[in-house]
Structure 1
Amino acid sequence: MEVVRAATLDDWEPLYDLIQRSGFGLTSLRLTKDQLHERLEWSHFAFTRKSERPGGEPYVFVMEDRATGSLVGTSCIFAKTGGYEPFYAYEVVTEQRESEELNVRGSVRSLQLRRIHDGPTEIGSLFLLPAFRGQGRGSLLSLARFSMIAQRPSRFAKEVIAEMRGVSDADGSSPFWEALGRHFFHVDFPVADALSTVSKKFIDDLMPEHPIYWDLLPPAVREVIGEVHEQTRPAKAMLEREGFASRGLVDIFDAGPILHSDRDSIRSVASCRNPKVERGEVPADAKRQIVTTSASRFRAVNSQVHWIDDDHVVLPEATRRALQLSEAEKVWTLG
Structure 2
Amino acid sequence: MLVVRPATLADLPQVISLAEQSHIGVTSLSTDMAKLREKIIVSKTSLDADVAFHGEESYFFVLEDSDTGRLHGCAGIVASAGFSEPFYSYRNDTFVHASRELGIHSKAQVLSLCHDLTGYTLLTGFYVDPDLKNSAVGEGLLRARLMFVANHPARFASHVVAELIGHSDETGDSPFWNAVGRNFFDVSYDEAERLCSLHSRTFIAELMPSYPVYVSLLPDDAQEVMGAVHPQSALSHDVLIREGFESDRYIDIFDGGPTLKADLASIQTVANSHLATVVVGERPVSASNYLVSNLGLSGFRAITVQTEWLPDAPLILSPEAALALAVTEGSSVRVVPLWSTGVQP
Per the TM superposition, whether the score is higher than 0.5 is yes
**CA distance in 2 between partners of 1:199 and 1:77 (Å):** 17
Tell me how far 1:237 sits from its aligned partner: 1.4
Q: Distance in 2 between matches of 1:224 and 1:16?
A: 30
Map Cα deviations across residues 283-318 of structure 1 (whole Å, 9 max, x no partner): 211332100112321111111233377152211222
8 Å CA contact 2:280–2:322 kept in 1: the answer is no
| 1:253-295 Cα distance to aligned partner (Å, 9 max, x none) | 0010100000111001011211111234432113321001123
Following the alignment from structure 1 to structure 2, what is the Cα–Cα distance between the partners of residues 118 and 227? 23
Shifted more, 285-294 versus 244-253: the winner is 285-294
Q: For 1:163 and 1:309, locate their aligned partners in 2 and report how far apart those are by CA, in whole Å.
A: 33
Contact 1:308 1:314 in 2 (8 A): no
SS at match of 1:28: coil
One-letter identity of the residue aligned with 2:76: C
**1:228 aligns to what?**
229
1:326 equivalent in structure 2: 328
Tell me the residue number matched to 1:138: 138
Contact 1:244–1:259 under 8 Å retained in 2: yes
Q: Any conservation in 2 of the 1:91–1:250 contact (CA below 8 Å)? A: yes
Cα deviation, 1:6-42, whole Å, max 9, x if unaligned, reads 1111111111122111131111112410111111011
Structure-2 separation of matches of 1:88 and 1:142? 24
Query: Structure 1 stretches of 5 or more lacking a match?
Result: none
Contact in 2 for aligned 1:246/1:259 (Cα 8 Å): yes
Matched residues in 2 for 1:326 and 1:312: separation?
A: 13
Q: TM-score, normalised by structure 1?
A: 0.95
How many residue pairs were aligned?
Answer: 335
Matches within 5 A, 1:245-264: 245-264=246-265
Partner of residue 75, structure 1: 75
SS in 1 for 2:83: strand
Deviation at 1:156, TM superposition (A): 0.2
Give the percent of matched residue pairs that are identical in Structure 1 and Structure 2. Answer: 37
Q: Tell me whether 81-90 or 60-69 shows the greater mean CA deviation.
A: 60-69
How far, CA to CA, are the matches of 2:205 and 2:323 in structure 1? 50
2:314 aligned partner: 312
Instruction: Tell me by how many angstroms 1:118 deviates.
Output: 4.3
Aligned residue runs from structure 1 range 1-335, under 5 A: 1-116=1-116, 118-197=118-197, 198-296=199-297, 297-307=299-309, 310-335=312-337
Tell me which amino acid in the other structure corresponds to 1:260: K
Query: Secondary structure at 1:14's aligned position in 2?
Result: helix
Q: Taking structure 2 as the reference length, what is the TM-score of the superposition? A: 0.92
Q: CA deviation at 1:327?
A: 3.6
Partners of 2:149 and 2:311 in 1: CA distance:
25
- State the one-letter code of the partner of 2:145: R
Residue identity in the other structure for 2:86: P
Given that residues 9 and 37 in structure 1 are in contact (C-alpha distance below 8 angstroms), is that contact kept between their aligned partners in structure 2? yes
Kept after mapping to 1: 8 A contact 2:88/2:205 = no
* Larger displacement relative to structure 2 (66-75 or 235-244): 66-75
Aligned-partner Cα distance in 2 for 1:100–1:2 = 66
User: 1: distance between equivalents of 2:85 and 2:237?
Assistant: 27
Q: Secondary structure at the match of 1:307?
A: coil
Does the 8 Å CA contact 2:86/2:202 hold for their aligned counterparts? no
Does structure 2 conserve the Cα–Cα contact (< 8 Å) formed by 1:76 and 1:125?
yes
Task: Work out the CA distance in 2 between the residues paired with 1:309 and 1:258.
Answer: 33
Tell me the CA shift for residue 149 of structure 1.
0.6
Question: What is the deviation of 1:161?
Answer: 0.1
Asked whether the equivalents of residues 304 and 316 of structure 1 are also in contact (C-alpha less than 8 Å), the reply is no
1:215 aligned counterpart, secondary structure: helix
Q: Which amino acid aligns with 2:307?
A: V
CA distance in 1, matches of 2:97, 2:117: 31
Preserved CA contact (<8 Å) 1:81 1:122 = yes
Cα shift at 1:221:
0.9
Higher strand share: 1
Change (3 A) 1:171 1:3: same
Partners of 1:239 and 1:219 lie apart in 2 by: 28
